[in-house]
């Protein structure tokens, strides 16, 4: 890793109700590359993303982030898909940073939104309400919104859960384009074959860091076995962890 990392986690702990979801993790995520976050269910992958966004309720340790703008793809369960809103309006939200809660979307914004909708293969869907879309189509909409955010760090939380192969292939093209544009991509993924195939870097998490680095090394059989054993441990009577100094957190550089 020659270049400066996009993200540096220093002794990061994220906890809910005193139980750590992410425990003393220190790692670096390289800039302008694609990194997969892998681990069993409950390993703290989503919590880690939330912490990176500054949305986790309690964190200790430090996150150093050199990105100016961060875009985030939520798990679909976090979005009310029955809400009466059109595809175009949803995608336009990607420009929130420009017009905020009160400004007007410019012609350029609308033009860019249409372009983004076409480039994820949903041309002609602009006025459709989102509750008529399939899971895969809706994921394309969210990707179009990410395209509009023009971020240098893109965080994807399970982008391919319950998505068919064709859509995965199309969306992977979008992700590769981001990487070609020197954007950093971090994705939480479950399909290890896909990670081995498409993501050069991986971070294996089981509440604690198992390993981070080149995918081939991180996803060894031995590491995966260790991750599973660590994730299953849950000690109700564990003593409190020694914390050196609860340093206040600041996300943006």
Partner 1 sequence: MLYTYLIEPFADFAFMRRALVACLALSVAGSSIGVFLILRRMSLMGDALAHALLPGAALGFLLGGLSLPAMSFGGFVAGIATAMVSGAIARFTSIREDASFAAAYLTSLALGVLIVSLRGSAIDLMNILFGAILAVDNQALILIVGTATVTLVGLAAIYRPLVVECFNPGFLAAMGVRGALYHALFLGLAVLNMVAAFQALGTLMALGLMLLPAVASSFWAREVWSMTLIAVPMAFLSGAIGLLLSFHAGLPSGPVIVLVASAFFLGSLIFGARSSVRSRLSRPVHLRG
For partner 1, how many residues bind (rule: CB under 8 A)?
20
Rounded to 5 degrees, what are φ and ψ at 176? -65, -35
Q: Does 129 bind partner 1 (CB under 8 A)?
A: yes
Q: Does 78 bind partner 1 (CB under 8 A)?
A: yes
Buried b (16+ CB within 10 A) or exposed e, 75-87: ebeeeeeeeeeeb
Minimum CB distance to partner 1, residue 244 (Å): 29
Residue 72 touches partner 1, criterion: CB under 8 A? yes
CA distance 128 to 202: 37
Contact call for residue 83 and partner 1 (CB under 8 A)? yes
Nearer to partner 1, 58 or 226 (CB): 58
Closest separation in Å from C-beta 187 to partner 1: 16
From candidates 10, 32, 93, 168, binder to partner 1 by CB under 8 A: 93
Q: Out of 2, 18, 41, 102, point to the residue binding partner 1 (CB under 8 A).
A: 102
86 binds partner 1 (CB under 8 A): yes
Contact between 84 and partner 1 per CB under 8 A = yes
Q: Considering the rule CB under 8 A, would residue 135 count as an interface residue with partner 1?
A: no
Lookup: tokens for 2: 């020659």
Helix (H), strand (E), coil (C) string for 46-100: HHHHHHHHCCCCCEEEEEEECCCCEEEECCHHHCCCCCCCEHHHHHHHHHHHHHC
- How far is Cα 32 from Cα 23, in angstroms, rounded to an integer? 26
Strand, helix or coil at 116?
helix
Q: Which residues bind partner 1 (CB under 8 A)?
A: 53, 55, 70, 72, 74, 78-80, 83-86, 90, 93, 96-97, 101-102, 129, 131
């Amino acid at each position: 890793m020659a270049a400066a990392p996009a993200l540096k986690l220093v002794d990061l702990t994220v906890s809910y109700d005193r139980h750590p979801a992410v425990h003393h993790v220190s790692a670096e995520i390289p800039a302008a590359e694609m990194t997969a976050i892998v681990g069993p269910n409950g390993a703290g992958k989503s919590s880690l993303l939330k912490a990176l966004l500054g949305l986790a309720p309690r964190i200790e340790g430090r996150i150093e982030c050199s990105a100016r703008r961060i875009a985030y793809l939520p798990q679909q369960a976090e979005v009310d898909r029955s809400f009466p809103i059109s595809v175009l309006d949803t995608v336009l939200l990607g420009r929130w940073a420009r017009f905020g809660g009160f400004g007007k979307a410019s012609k350029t914004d609308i033009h860019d939104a249409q372009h983004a909708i076409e480039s994820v293969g949903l041309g002609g869907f602009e006025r459709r309400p989102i509750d008529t879309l399939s899971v895969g189509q809706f994921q394309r909409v969210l990707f179009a919104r990410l395209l509009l955010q023009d971020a240098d760090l893109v965080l994807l939380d399970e982008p391919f859960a319950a998505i068919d192969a064709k859509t995965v292939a199309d969306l992977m093209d979008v992700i590769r384009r981001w990487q070609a544009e020197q954007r950093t991509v971090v994705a939480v993924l479950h399909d290890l074959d896909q990670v081995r195939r498409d993501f050069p870097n991986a971070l294996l998490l089981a509440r604690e860091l198992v390993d981070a680095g080149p995918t081939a090394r991180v996803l060894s059989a031995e590491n995966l076995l260790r991750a599973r054993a660590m994730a299953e441990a849950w000690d109700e009577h564990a003593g409190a962890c020694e914390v050196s100094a609860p340093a206040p957190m600041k996300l943006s550089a």
